[in-house]
């Protein structure tokens, strides 16, 4: 899921975009800032997307029921193609319409109207974003594409060091949950967990090997193992903060195009969003772990941006 640095710089230069990251290794595709044309032809299906002003009393009541992280399929095998419905909280960020969606990052659905992603995915203030959800294929005719009407990046986000690399996006229409569209839980019960030695799942549509120029058209997942921040700091001297989480698995990793997507941990059959794909060097290199934003450190910040605690169990 990687693009060579020279190609990244060249692509960004052509687009007139300047993007800074630690050693050019954030996990975002080149040419990411795509203007979104107004799609007047697309009309969301009423049973999945409901404008807030048209909510029924039944839907208002359903929305207040705490449901998250309990759908999905069987155990995920690292580096594998993801069947439809297995990671129903995964969304893609990009532009375009159903069947021709152009993706540049990933994200995680955490409620019927909020998505969490990486700040570096949406650092361009002129960026207009849509999200793709409900399917694992970018070309699917059954997916849903919803516009984003608000992006809130962390106020202390640093584009050079990628500290506080997190953002909350508000969808223009609320989504109704189904087996293919379902939120992941926030990790309120895991605030003391270090995740060292724990198996976690990362997913995205990024390229599938280092140096590849071809992105995946289907959603893929990988199982990685958490390591301590002390160990990660020895791999990346003076770059790892308490707000970051590191994980590795030889030959398995996230790469360009996966930025902003979920790193999840499952406990007692409930899946929690514990990380946001942020940066790393290479793909799957034994001494170069992937670096994620540690969501447990940002729960209060997320609450302030979403107007209150979201579902966590």
- According to DSSP, residue 10 is labeled H
In this structure, is residue 168 part of a structural domain?
yes
Catalytic-labelled residue, pool 120, 143, 221, 258: 120
In this structure, is residue 219 part of a structural domain?
no
Catalytic-labelled residue, pool 26, 111, 216, 259: 259
Cα three-residue angle 177-262-71, rounded to 5 degrees: 35
Residue 154: active-site member: no
In this structure, is residue 135 part of a structural domain?
yes
In this structure, is residue 119 part of a structural domain?
yes
Q: Which residues contact 300 (CB under 8 A, 6 or more apart)?
A: none
Q: Is 198:265 a contact under the CB 8 Å cutoff?
A: yes
For residues 98-117, give the mean pLDDT.
91
In this structure, is residue 58 part of a structural domain?
yes
Q: In this predicted structure, what is the pLDDT of residue 65?
A: 61
In the structure, what pLDDT confidence band is assigned to residue 286 with cuts at 50, 70 and 90? low
N- to C-terminal Cα distance for the chain? 32
Q: In this predicted structure, what is the pLDDT of residue 26?
A: 58
Please give the tally of structural domains in the chain.
1
- Point out the least confidently predicted range of 40-54, 172-186, 288-302: 40-54
In the structure, what pLDDT confidence band is assigned to residue 256 with cuts at 50, 70 and 90? low
Relative to beta strand 244-248, strand 220-227 is: antiparallel
Q: In this predicted structure, what is the pLDDT of residue 50?
A: 42
Residue 79 pLDDT more than 70? no
Measure CA 263 to chain center. 8
Dihedral angle, C-alpha 175, 148, 169, 10, nearest 10 °: 130
Residue 165: active-site member: yes
Q: In this predicted structure, what is the pLDDT of residue 209?
A: 55
In this structure, is residue 165 part of a structural domain?
yes
- Point out the least confidently predicted range of 112-116, 208-212, 279-283, 309-313: 208-212
State the pTM of this model.
0.78
Alpha carbons within 13 A on the beta-carbon side of 209: 2
In this structure, is residue 258 part of a structural domain?
no
Q: In this predicted structure, what is the pLDDT of residue 125?
A: 61
Q: In this predicted structure, what is the pLDDT of residue 22?
A: 42
Residue 120: active-site member: yes
> Which structure tokens are listed for 280?
């790393």
Give the range with max mean pLDDT: 40-44, 140-144, 158-162. Answer: 158-162
Report the SS3 class of residue 60: helix
Q: Is 232:244 a contact under the CB 8 Å cutoff?
A: yes
What percentage of the chain exceeds 90 in pLDDT?
46
Q: In this predicted structure, what is the pLDDT of residue 93?
A: 93
Q: Which residues contact 201 (CB under 8 A, 6 or more apart)?
A: 76, 87, 221, 222, 223, 224, 262, 263, 264, 265, 266
Measure CA 266 to chain center. 17
Can you give the residue range of the structural domain that contains 62? 49-72+88-183+299-306
Mean pLDDT, the chain, whole residue set: 76
CATH number of the domain where residue 129 is located? 2.40.10.10
Alpha carbons within 13 A on the beta-carbon side of 13: 6
In this structure, is residue 117 part of a structural domain?
yes
Catalytic-labelled residue, pool 135, 165, 253, 258: 165
Pick from 221, 95, 82: which is nearest to 147 by CA? 95
Q: Is 102:85 a contact under the CB 8 Å cutoff?
A: no
d(CA 294, CA 249): 18
pLDDT tens-digit readout, 181-211: 999 999 999 999 999 999 999 998 875 554 5
- According to DSSP, residue 296 is labeled G
């Amino acid at each position: 899921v990687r693009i060579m640095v020279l190609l990244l710089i060249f692509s960004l230069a052509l687009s007139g975009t300047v993007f800074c990251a630690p050693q050019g290794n954030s996990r975002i595709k080149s040419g990411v800032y795509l203007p979104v044309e107004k799609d007047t032809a697309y009309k969301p299906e009423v049973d999945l997307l409901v404008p807030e002003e048209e909510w029924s009393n039944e839907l208002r009541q359903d929305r207040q029921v705490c449901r998250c992280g309990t759908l999905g399929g069987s155990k995920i095998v690292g580096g594998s193609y993801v069947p439809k419905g297995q990671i129903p909280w995964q969304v893609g960020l990009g532009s375009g319409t159903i069947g021709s969606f152009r993706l540049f990052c990933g994200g995680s659905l955490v409620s019927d109207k909020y998505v969490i992603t990486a700040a570096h995915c949406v650092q361009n203030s002129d960026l207009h974003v849509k999200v793709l959800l409900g399917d694992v294929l970018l070309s699917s005719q059954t997916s849903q594409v919803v516009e984003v009407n608000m992006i809130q990046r962390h106020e202390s986000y640093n584009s050079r060091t990628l500290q506080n690399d997190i953002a909350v996006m508000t969808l223009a229409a609320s989504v109704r949950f189904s087996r293919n569209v379902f939120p992941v839980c926030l990790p309120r019960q895991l605030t003391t967990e270090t995740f060292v030695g724990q198996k976690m799942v990362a997913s995205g549509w990024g390229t599938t090997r280092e140096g590849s120029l071809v992105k995946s058209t289907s959603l893929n997942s990988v199982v990685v193992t958490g390591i301590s921040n002390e160990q990660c700091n020895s791999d990346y001297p003076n770059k790892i903060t308490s707000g970051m989480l590191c994980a590795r698995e030889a030959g398995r990793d996230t790469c360009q195009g996966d930025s902003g997507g979920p790193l999840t941990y499952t406990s007692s059959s409930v899946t929690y969003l514990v990380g946001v794909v942020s940066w790393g060097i290479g793909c799957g290199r034994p001494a170069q772990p992937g670096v994620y934003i540690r969501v447990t450190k940002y729960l209060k910040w997320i609450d302030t941006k979403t107007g209150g605690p979201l579902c966590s169990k």
